[in-house]
Every structure is written in structure tokens, then in C-alpha cells.
Structure 1
């Protein structure tokens, strides 16, 4: 994409043009063939049910998901990054696309359909502990201000 070519948003209607692989980060241990489904508790807010599943085309984005989910739950370890296959249409994640990162450079998406685990990324690079702590501090600050809104 060049600077003169406008970005086409990824919608349920246009998502077929987005090619994986796709990744999902979580604190949970999953097996190949398992399906993640929406309507379960959020990895990021206790007591919140998530209507969507979130995934990305970048391992680094999924790594953030794994590390934050683990840290926020007080879990030991850094979590897991899985290779996933969306089983239905998906769209840009509005929580980051153009809201925080214009143009979706994180390649973050969401779906209301299941994601099938097709593999695990064992050697994903984690973030420096100080960087992770800075992100956790920022999230805590947003929560204190009532600004940790997740559009779901």
C-alpha cells in the first residue's frame, strides 16, 4: 500500500481478501483442533463476557494478548500464542484500528464465529518486563479514569 492508496477497511464482506496465518494470544493451554467460541469471559476484564474473539496476522500482536491476559489474571508464565483459523467472517478490531493505531498496523481482527486452533507458536518473542509493566500501568490508569472501554 502506498501513501496515495487509501486503506480499505476489513469488514465481514471484504475479509476473504485477508490471508493468514492468524494468531491468538491467551493465558489458557489449548490443543490442536480445539475451538475458541465467543460468549465466554474476557481475558482482559474480570466479569465481562466477550461477544467477539480477537486475533491478529502478526505474532507480536498475539504475544501482547498472551502476556497481558496472563499478567491481568495473575497467572504464572507468559501465556500461549496459537495459530488459528477463523471459521467465519471477521472485521478490523475497532478497539485498535483507527482508534489507537490508524490503518490497523497491528493487523488485529475480531469475529463472532469460532476460531480453530491449528498449531502453537513455541518460540515467540516476549516483551521486556519493563515494557510489559508500562503497558499494565497504562491499562490501570485507563481503568481508574473509566476509559478502559472495550467496544465489543
Structure 2
């Protein structure tokens, strides 16, 4: 599977053994068949509505997503299927790394929850603390996300 295209088209058919699935880390309590959609509070930042939702083809970024998500819920990693085009996540690709080594993506189209990873190894407390400290330093510099496309709630 090449990553030459900035956008990838996912299957719009139901889940099959050959459909591309992705991971999504969060603290949200979701069920099979639920949709993860944009327009709700982001897992990160200052409680603004996110234009994009995020997914990855590798487990480590999904683990970070679950560990760093705002909220008090249990850290969860879901298997999801994209319902429309996805593109590289600029937080982890174009601005930070050449190409897309973490295989992290974003989309404005919903993801359908098709499973949950229930056994996974998180990062050490020291690693999570170091990442949270780095995010605080970015916030102090006025950088809450390198994604410029987060939108404020219209209400």
C-alpha cells in the first residue's frame, strides 16, 4: 500500500476481512456501529469543536490519542472504518516528519466503530508526563494544535 496520494479513498461497503481498518484512541464510550463524527469537542485543546476526526493505521499513535484525551473515562482504542476520503494528519506528517511514518490521518467524514482493542500496552507514566509537559509548553507558546483547521463552536 503506497502513501504517495495525499488522500486515500476508503471502502464505503460494510466491513469485510479485506476492508482497510484503522485505530482511533479516545476516552469516549462507544459501541459497535456508532459513528465517530466531527463537529464535537476535540479530545485535545480547549474544548473547541473539531473540524476533523483522526485515525491511524498503527497502534502507537492511537495509544497516545487514548492516553492524552481529555476526560475521565477509560482509555479506549477502537477499530474504525472511514466512510469517505482521508488525508495525512499535518500534526504528525508534513510539519513534523517527512512523509507519514506514523500512518496518521484525518477526515471530515465519520468513522464507523467496528471493534475495540481491549488488550494493549500503554506508555510509561514518565513518557505520558513528558508528552503532557511538552504539550503544556506548546500551549504556553500559543500553539494548541498544529492543525490550523480547528473551528470554534458557532453558538
TM-score by length of 1: 0.84
Please tell me whether the aligned partners of residues 9 and 92 of structure 1 are also in contact (alpha carbons under 8 angstroms).
Answer: no
Q: Name stretches of at least 5 consecutive residues in structure 2 with no aligned partner.
A: 12-18, 150-155
> What does residue 40 of structure 1 align with?
40
Please tell me whether the aligned partners of residues 60 and 125 of structure 1 are also in contact (alpha carbons under 8 angstroms).
Answer: no
1:124 corresponds, among 120, 123, 134, to 120
C-alpha displacement of 1:17: 8.0
- Within 1, Cα distance between the matches of 2:27 and 2:129? 17
Q: Name stretches of at least 5 consecutive residues in structure 1 with no aligned partner.
A: none
Higher percent of residues as helix: 1
Q: Aligned-residue CA RMSD in angstroms?
A: 2.1
> What does residue 9 of structure 2 align with?
16
TM-score by length of 2: 0.83
Once the two structures are superposed, residues 45-69 of structure 1 have per-residue CA deviations (whole angstroms, 9 ceiling, x without a partner) of 1331100110000111101000000
Task: Indicate whether 1:93 and 2:80 are aligned.
Answer: no
Dislocated runs of 4+, deviation >6 Å: none
| SS in structure 2 at match of 1:137 | helix
Tell me how many residue pairs correspond in the alignment.
141
